Every structure is written in C-alpha cells, then in structure tokens.
Structure 1
Amino acid sequence: MTVETTITAGGTPPISEAARRAIPAFARSGDRQMIIGGRRVPAVSGQTLPNTDPTTEAPLASIPRGGAEDVDIAVRAAQKAFTDPTWSGIDPAVRGRILLQIAAVAEEHAEELATIESANMGGPITMTRQMMAVAAQTYRHYAGWPTMLGGHTVPMPGNRLGYTRREPLGVVGFIWGWNGPMVQLALTLAPALAAGNTAVLKPPEWASLTTLRFAELLDEHTDLPPGVVNVVTGPGREAGESLVRHPGVAKIAFTGSTAVGRHVHEVASADLKRLTLELGGKSPVVVFADADLEVAARGAAVALLAGSGQACVAGTRLIVADSVRAEFTERLITAMAGFVVGDPLDPATMMGPLAARPHFERVTSWFDIAAQEGARTLTGGTRYGDHGFFVTPTLLGDVTPDMRVVREEIFGPVGALMGFTDIDDAIARANQTEYGLAASVWTKDLATAHRLAAGIDAGTVWVNTHHEMTTGPMPFAGFKQSGIGGEGGPEVMDAFTKHKAVLIAL
C-alpha cells in the first residue's frame, strides 16, 4: 500500500478530536489506586504522580507515588497468597483455568486497554491492538503449562528411591518498560503464574494506567485469589529500588535499559536473588545485494520506525551491500516518508509521539551529537510539529563504527546506514556492538541466510522480516549486554521454578 507522507518539517501532527474523546474515563482524569491484596489503595504517603498524554501534552489520570512501605505491604500480601496456600498449592488444572480467564479478560477488554495504552505512551492504536492480541495469546499459551511441570524419577542403587520435584520460587517482582506495557508484562507474568508464583508488579512510571486497569479487571472478572497479583506504582528509584532490595522477593524479572539493568543486577546480587534481565539493543539490519530491495526497504523502515523506534529490537544499524547501497538508500528514504505521523488514536497513524518529555529531549539531543561526530542527516533530524513529543523519522549516513550514534542505544526513530563488502564483513559489522538482542537478514540466498543466522551473535535472527515475536513457543533472550536469561520457549519455565532432589531409603 502506498501512502502519502504527512511528514513536513515544522508541521503540526493532525490530532483527531473524535479520537481524543475516545480515551476511556479510567485514563482521562482523577486519581487511580494501586491493587494490593485484592484491595484498591492509595500510596501510604498519599502522594500521586501525573501521567501525561504525549500527543497533546495534556494531563491524564494520576497514579499513586508508591515507595518502600507500599512495596513491603504488597510483598507481604504476595507471600500470604503464596503460602496459605491459595496459589502455590492450588490444583494445577485450576491455575490453568484461571490463566484462561486472564486471557479472556485481555481479549474482551482489548479495545479499552489498547486505547489507554495509546493515550498513555503514544503507540499507534493499530500497534497496541496487536499487542493486546499477543498478550491474550500469551496467557492462553501458558495456561497449558501448570499440569506439565512435573519432576522425574532417578535410577538409584539398592533400596533407594530418588525423584525430583519442580516447585515455584515464591514472590516475583516485575519491573518493565513503557514501550509496550501489556505485552511485556504478559511475557513474564504468564509463565510465573503458571509455575505457581505470586507477583508484585511495578509498572513503568510514564505508562502505568493500563496495568492498573488490567489489575482491576482481573479482580472483577477472574477467580484469581487476592494477593496473587499486586500492583505498586511509583518511580523506579523509589518503588522499583525497594522491590529489588526487598528480602521477601525471590526473583526479579526486569525489562529495560542496559544501564538500569546493570544496577538491578548489582542490587539483587546482595541477597542472591534470581534474575531475568531483558535489556537494550542496537540491532543490525543486514541487506544483501540479491535481496528484493523494495521489500527490504519497507521491512527496514518498519524495523527502524515501529513504535517510534522505542523498541529494544529496533533495527537501528542498517548494514547494506556496497553494490546496492545507493539504490537501497533511496528506497528506504521513500519508505520512511510513507510512515504517517500523527495522533496514535487515529487508525491511519503509523508512528506516534515518543512516550514522555524527558525521553523526547534525550532523543532530539542526538541530532546535535550526530552533527558533531560528522554524520550526515539523509532525512529527518528534527522535531515534528509544535506540540506533543513527535520526532521525524531520521536516517544518518557517513557514519563510522566508532561514532556514538552507531554504538549507543538512542531508543527513537533514528537509524545509521553503512555498507559492507562480503559475507564475512557483514557478520563482522553486525557483531561490532556490545549488544546482542536481535538482527534481521535480507537475502534470497538460503546459504547466506544460514551463515548469517549462525554468525551473528544475537538471541534472535530474523530472515526477510523483523519485529516478529511469538507468544510463547520460541525463546527470546539477549546475548552480551542485552540481558541475562530469557522469555518464551519451554526454557522460560526453568526461570520461574526450582528443582528439588528427594532421596528415600526404603
């Protein structure tokens, strides 16, 4: 489909008044409350934090400013729910049934939750609707696991019986990103609940409203026992730090930047908490001369611009065969110009605003850094409009591997394009990063595809596609500075369980 670009430097993103009025009442105004032990409660301090619509910069509903006291109350509620036993000792088939109920809530209330998410963090409504569908499918996938988490018998000599038990960890703390809260939460919460753990959720400060509404819906429409899922909102340095430090938390599942992930790792190691860290990326998009360049250019534009580039797997390093680099660059710029920028609640929008002012200011600061380093702006490189946190889709050329714009995660719609000579050079350039989360390869040659899949040091390698995530069957894990542990696949159940050996003298 060809779309006419709405991107004009200094223009104003079209804001649909009808779409603005479509924001659910839960998100529009008022003071929302946390969910702890099945009860709606304010922060112990009574303080709140504003949430802002990144499209209009208008205020949305406020959230409680939770801190250490709130985290302690939530952890105690989760411990009670785990040990009563209302959850860890429940019939596994019942746990599976409740996970199906959670999936049904995600499906039946998908439009409300997707709309809140778009209003709160700026993702296009078409994207947040798809994210809700993926979230529902994820809970449904893990609903089949509770009855399959068995141990095994071990051959022993003489009158000895040996067997293993697979048991839940206890209370798990969840901290995750604002660039897709509902789907990110599902990828870790679903397997944790399937294994019999209880949860304390610390949603992203800039985009907490969907999590609070989802928790309310679970309380109203499922048989989830009180205290199994608790929500404490607040800043990461207060509520998040307290959750990581709390001695009653057995594991932290964290999704966010590598810098914060390193801090979480350091703090959690004090009492040897288990950790899953899904961190940043600087993913390469490798385009070979034999690729369908038009398809590859459209795919690369999606890899770079989906979610306004606010994705850990965003394809921000575009590595193109020298022989077709000029042609590909023209096609890519055209594809980027076709990304309609505007109101995320308008179904025609393909790219909304960045999530919050601090992040907007950080991303736009990279334009000066790029210029100072000698990079050439091929397209974009400006703010878009005079209100809201919009940035033009941006492509940089004349870059070298040592430049910060090539090495560091910008987390916005800013890509750097460079060339390569042959397969070995392509692999070397793809791996010339501290990150190792994802990559995509564009080629018609099966041998080339397999060589790159084996040679690129990243947890996920896509061929002739990008941004495709499964709802549980396949693992998703980062290498190098992109994380520890992973999500998805049968392996994820090991991240939320412990194995106990039992030996009996008969």
Structure 2
Amino acid sequence: MSYHDTISQELGFDPQALRGDLWIDGGWRKGRGGDPIAVIDPSTGNTITRIENASIDDAMDAVAAAEAALPGWAATPPRVKSEILRRCYDLMIQRKDMLARLISLENGKALPDAQGEVLYAAEFFRWFAEEAVRLNGEIYTAPSGANRIIVTHRPIGVAVMVTPWNFPAAMATRKIAPALAAGCTCVLKPATETPLTAYALAEIYAEAGVPPGVVNVLTTSRSGATVSAMLHDPRVRKLSFTGSTEVGRRLLHEAADTVISCSMELGGNAPFIVFDDADLDLAIEGAMVAKMRNGGEACTAANRFLVQKGIAPAFAERLAARMEAMTLGAGYAGETLCGPLINREALDRIAGLVSEAESHGAKTLTGGRPLDRPGFYFPPTVLTDVPPQAEITGEEIFGPVAALATFETEDEAIARANSTEYGLISYVFTSDLARGLRVSERLDSGMVGLNRGVVSDPAAPFGGTKQSGLGREGAHHGILEFCEVQYIAANW
C-alpha cells in the first residue's frame, strides 16, 4: 500500500485532496511565486502534498482585498460580528476530529495534543464573540470643567499576521478572532511547514459568514521579502507576529520604517522552580504538562528545571520514569504520546544541545540520542547536573528535553530564573502559598504558573517581558491590540 493510501486510511481523508491554493478575497487562486512548496509529514519524512507559492504581487492583492473589505467590516454591527465569530467556533467544534488529525499529520504532534489545540483554538472565537459587543469607550468631564472627554476604540486597519508551525490552528485564531471582533481585516501568512490547517480554517471562516477579503491566507517560500513588502505598504497598519526573537527583531526594524503598530509574541526560556516543600505528585504532573505539551515544541515549555536540593533526587527519578514511559511514534497514531520533531534541522539542533550539555558534565537519565528510523524522532530526555554554562540553559530547547539543575535558597532560585534575556513564563511549585506568591512577584516574566503546568487561556492576557515580546493576546487586552484610541473633546 502506498504512503498516501495508508495515510488516507489512517486519517479518514485523502490529504492530497486538501486545498493548498492561496485564499484571497474570498476565493482560491494559484500563486505566482514559483514552484509549489512541499509539505512534509514529520512522522515519516514523506511529502504529504504541495501548496501554492505566493509572489509579492499576490501579497499585494491580498492587502488590496483586505483594504477594500475594511470599511464594510468595520461598520458591521458588533452583534453581527459576534454571531459570525460564534459560528466560526461552532464549525470548528463540529469538525474538531478532522482538524486534529490534520494538525497531527503536518505538525507531527500527538493526537491528544492536537485535539487539545483545536478546542483551545476554537475558544478564541467564542471568547472574542463575547468581547465584540463589549468594546466600550469612556466619557467624563475634563478636570477644568471646560469640556467633556470622549474616548472611543476604532479598528486599527489592515493587519498582517505571521504565525509559526508549532500551533497551526491556535496561533492563527488567537490573532484573527480579536482582529475581526475589533473590526479589522487581515492577511495571514502561516508557516510553510504547516499551512494545510490555515487553509482548512479559511474555508470555515467563509462558511461562518466572514465576508470576502476580511481574512486572506497565503504561503510563500520568500517569507522575508513578502512580509517586508506588506509592511512597507501604507495600507497596512498592524503587525501581529508569533515566532523566534531573532526574526521578531528583524520585523520590528522593518515595521519601524512605516511606524506600524506591533504585537510580538517571541521566544522563551521558562524556569520551572520546585521547592523542597512542593507536593511531589503535583510537581511531576505539572512538569509533564509544562515540558511535554506538544512534545516540548512550545514557547511556554519548561526549559530550565531548578529543583531545591532536598527534593531533587526524587524529582529527577520520578520525572525520568514518566518520560521514559511515553509512547513515541507517528503523531496521528492513536497510542502516541510524543510525536516527532518538525524537521531534520530541529532534530540535529536538539541532539547537538544534549551532546554539548553532556560535554559540560550533565548526566543523561533517559533518552539523549535521535532514533534511527524514518521521520524526525528524538526520545523524551532527562538531563541532571546541568551547569549554568551549558548552551541548553541559555537557549529555547523546543523539544522533549528536560534539563535539571539544583539550588539551595529562594534568592538563588529567583536570581537564576531571571538570568535570561527572555521573560515569557515561569513555573513555581511550593506548598507554601505565601512563598509562592512572593516568588511569583519577583520573577521577571509576563506569566507565572503557580502550582500549575499550563496557563494558556483565551480569557487571560498572554505575553512576556524583556525579549519575549510586546503586547498581549487573549483577554480584553487582545482586542485592544487591534484598536486605535480616539479622543474627542466636546462641549454641550
């Protein structure tokens, strides 16, 4: 049986039948950017299908479509926008199994993780359907009494959105839902590793009633030049980016030329602090979620495990046993708990980080070497005695490797946790609530999981400090990222 026959039987649909054309102005079209782009199944290394390659002219057509649709969508009553967003949620939930299998196919993540992503991604439409009718302004009297101050929120305009491969549904809906709720239109450029989910969702938006031109989706092999062209187009007024800090810095430079508003969700280097008084069972469960959600390929993944000396041996032993017991295999296989990495480059990079840590004296309790099989598999790995100078402590691992080190005092743990240019999220486990809150307040990160291994919630503000980004996604803050504040001075 051929690869595609096998996959079709496994998934219940033929991946070659999926649309891979550009979605511009409410319809499919071919790209003018050259040869089609291969989409690879990380579980096998085989080509799933090929998608269209957008040119800069295609991107300009998408921007033009978004600009043309902007006045009508901005003027659409909030209740109408809200109901369309709610239909997007309903349709995603109706098709959650298909979407999850599609995510597992092109991303490699284990099916339970993909199912969780679809529910999380859909929830942004439900949350912002509610926020769309609550975009309130203000009115008050100037202190002098000379006039009234009226404050309103207006849609910022056409938004360019650039999303990564690790959460192909959620990273898109986390941007599209608030943008549409605010009255903006957009052009989405998903990662070429995982474009099929974005195109499947485009059809759902249209079916839910999103008008042509309001959401446009394009893929290109020339991401830098294409995004740069859009950012230098005066019709574009917003950039929302999720990805690496390195790429984020370059985009901020590009956006500065036309003073575009930027929301940047960048890299992380999350500390996971476990105090001696922590509930060990709870800490292990939290560690498994914080580290192994999406196989560690998440910006919120626990990167540096800092464990107080008294509990460190038991914590390391328990964590290694849990990691070793995880079933490694194709993401879409029912028994899989840890899927492959996204590509060969990621596999080689993580293998290099582990080897470099071992050269500095780190000990490998389980895992540690790539598997010699088709696909891009690195087993769940636990390293202990990882010294501060090891490269793995300063980089975002983005894979199933837990790097453990010990500490003695609370001040030492905080100092080591904060000794990074990143500040996305931190995790703290302790049975002492006063200590937990005290430590949380001293951690320089935008989010803290206190006795919790996951914090992501559409109702909560997601974002970081330092070089982990600018702005917030989710909560009421998320819709404000797509608004301009207008002040009107009036007398009556």
| TM-score (normalizing by structure 2) | 0.94
The Cα shift of 1:380 comes to 1.3
Residue aligning to 1:328: 315
Q: Which residue of 2 aligns with 1:120?
A: 106
Residue 31 of structure 2 corresponds to 43
Show the counterpart of 2:408. Answer: 421
Question: Which structure 2 residues correspond to residues 190-205 of structure 1 after superposition, within 5 A?
Answer: 190-205=177-192
Per the alignment, in what secondary structure is the counterpart of residue 254 of structure 1? strand
Unaligned runs of 5+ in 1: 1-14
Q: What are the superposed Cα offsets for residues 296-349 of structure 1, whole Å, 9 maximum, x if unpaired?
A: 223213322221210001112110011121121111111111221112112321
For the 8 Å contact 2:25–2:65, the answer to whether it is kept is yes
- Over aligned residue pairs, what C-alpha RMSD do you find? 2.0
Q: Which amino acid aligns with 2:45?
A: E
Aligned to 1:412: 399
| Residue equivalent to 2:63 | 75
In the aligned structure 1, how far is the partner of 2:397 from the partner of 2:331? 21
- After superposition, residues 210-221 of structure 1 pair within 5 angstroms as 210-219=197-206, 221=207
User: Which range is displaced more, 148-157 or 490-499?
Assistant: 148-157
Equivalent-residue separation in structure 2 for 1:58 and 1:387 (angstroms): 9
What amino acid sits opposite 1:387 in the alignment? P
For residue 344 of structure 1, give the secondary structure of its aligned residue in structure 2: coil
The amino acid that maps onto 1:324 is I
Give the Cα–Cα distance (whole angstroms) in 1 for the partners of residues 261 and 454 of structure 2: 28
In structure 1, the residue matched to 2:128 is 142
1:92 matched to 2:88: no
- Distance apart, 1:505 and its partner CA: 5.3
Match of 2:242 in 1: 255
Instruction: Quote the residue 1:494 is aligned against.
Output: 480
- 1:27-66 superposed matches below 5 A: 27-28=15-16, 32-66=20-54
Distance 2:155 2:352 in 1: 45
1:240 deviates by 3.3
CA distance in 2, matches of 1:500, 1:301: 46
Aligned to 1:399: 386
Corresponding residue SS for 1:402: coil
Tell me if the contact between 2:199 and 2:217 (Cα under 8 Å) persists in the aligned partners.
Answer: yes
8 Å CA contact 1:314, 1:467 repeated in 2: no
Match for residue 108 of structure 1 among 94, 115, 118 = 94
Q: What residue number does 2:470 align with?
A: 484
Q: CA deviation at 1:448?
A: 1.5
Read off the aligned partner of 1:119 and give its amino acid letter: L
Structure 1 residues 223-372: aligned runs within 5 Å: 223-235=209-221, 236-372=223-359
CA distance in 1: counterparts of 2:471 and 2:186, whole angstroms: 19
Q: Kindly provide the amino acid, as one letter, of the partner of residue 72 in structure 1.
A: M
Contact 2:7/2:14 (8 A) holds in 1: no
Which moved further from structure 2: 206-215 or 183-192?
Answer: 183-192
Flag structure 2 segments of 5+ consecutive residues without an equivalent: none
CA distance in 2, matches of 1:272, 1:245: 10
Match of 1:144, SS state, is helix
Partner of 1:382: 369
Q: Distance in 1 between matches of 2:208 and 2:281?
A: 47
Q: Percent identity?
A: 34
